[in-house]
Structure 1
Amino acid sequence: MQLLDALFGPVERYSDAIPARIHGIVAVVSFCTFVGVIALGFVPVTRRIETSGYSTADLQAATSRAEVDTILQAFEPVMESVMLLSVLDYIFIVAGFFLFFSLHSLSLKTLAVHNRLVLIPKVGMVLTVVSRLLDSLENLWVILIYTNPDDYATILIDLMNTSESLKWMIVSIGYPTLGIAIVLALLTRFTSLFDGRSESPQ
């Protein structure tokens, strides 16, 4: 019980401390930033990087020093784009964090009267924290590798691979959790509206 309080306490306080209207505004702004970074940042920058014959995804998937060194050598003409992509990735991480947290907070407020269903957005918020943290760490290991291509620690490759694997494992749970939380919140809201109309005097 204490462990659950430690996990869910901070996310509940965050949700309760901010009005639903503000959560909605944050969600809209974060969504626009989220989509904008993908469409206006990731897509064109990734295309420039891929002219080298490799992508940053190839670097993150590399498992040996020989593979990483080959990719880093190919990246040399487009290193500015690689660095820009890392900056965009952190903006993407922050935008995604606030988007998911705001949507989960709105769901939590709607499902607050359901003792069991309310656990879904709470779990989703914890998963969001973990996945964004892993994404940040993965990006950090990549930066430490390409900023010191001649003398980076080999363990960074293992850290990069582990962070990426764990991130996608958490993300594969986190996205469906968000979807379920939103659907349940919408159903609860529509049900309450329907019940309110049926109980109103004719």
Structure 2
Amino acid sequence: MQWLDALVRPFERYADALSAQNHAIVAFVSFCIFVGVIALGFVPVTRRIETSGYSTADLQAATTREEVDTILQGFEPVIESVMLLSILDYVFIVAGFFLFFSLHSLSLKALVGHDRLVLIPKIGMALTVVSRLLDSLENLWVILIYTNPDDYATILISLMNNSEALKWMVVSVEYPMLGISIAVALLTRFTSLFDGRAKSPQ
């Protein structure tokens, strides 16, 4: 299947670009940023936004122009916090991308020589690309709406809703796939070490 090889080749190149140690460093730094954005960014900024009576989640769930306009009016006193949250969301997206890609790369290195099992981290990488792309698009539609509250295109509401729905569909598979990828890599490494000891001369 040449098309599949062409699809996953960039993932293999990313995994080969760094050593396992460097991938671990990238994963650790990305994880710190990932968690830090949530704890120090999303939580306090979201609380400030919610003083308006609405949250960005309410905006993303709105399906009609009337609902969106009502929420945008409520956002006016906290619009700077809404903008900050959008910026933090992109930082979160980038950090999550490198975190997931480096963890999958570590799994990929551990599964070298296992033709079928190696597909697990590759599929996980593909899911990460799709989920981060959908998250970025969702964030873009939100920005285009609140930065032009009086004259935004109504189609942006549908694009926002659809991007969010598709994102959560992919994420619901993406996170378990990461867990499976790590578990299979650890199990394979443990099994190979056990077999090596069993075969070593007494």
Indicate whether the TM-score tops 0.5: yes
Aligned to 2:161: 161
Q: Which deviates the most, 93-102 or 18-27?
A: 18-27
CA distance in 1, matches of 2:56, 2:104: 30
CA distance in 1, matches of 2:156, 2:6: 31
Q: Which deviates the most, 13-22 or 89-98?
A: 13-22
Cα deviation for residue 16 of structure 1 reads 1.3
Aligned to 1:132: 132
Q: Deviations over 1:117-167 (max 9, x none)?
A: 110000000110010000000000000000000000001101101111111
CA distance in 2, matches of 1:112, 1:80: 48
Aligned to 1:67: 67
Instruction: Note if 1:87 corresponds to 2:82.
Output: no
Q: Secondary structure at the match of 2:149?
A: coil
Between the aligned residues of both structures, percent identity stands at 82
**Residue type at the aligned position of 2:48:** R
Instruction: Note if 1:99 corresponds to 2:99.
Output: yes
**Residue type at the aligned position of 1:43:** V
Cα deviation for residue 196 of structure 1 reads 1.8
CA distance in 1, matches of 2:164, 2:6: 26
Cα deviation for residue 189 of structure 1 reads 1.1
Aligned to 1:44: 44
**Residue type at the aligned position of 2:109:** K
Q: Deviations over 1:162-185 (max 9, x none)?
A: 111111111111111100000000
Aligned to 1:175: 175
Q: Which runs of 5+ in 2 are unaligned?
A: none
Aligned to 2:58: 58
Q: Which runs of 5+ in 1 are unaligned?
A: none
Aligned to 1:18: 18
CA distance in 2, matches of 1:41, 1:12: 33
Aligned pair count? 202
State the TM-score, normalizing by the size of structure 1: 0.98
**Residue type at the aligned position of 1:82:** V
CA distance in 2, matches of 1:2, 1:145: 42
Q: Secondary structure at the match of 1:166?
A: helix
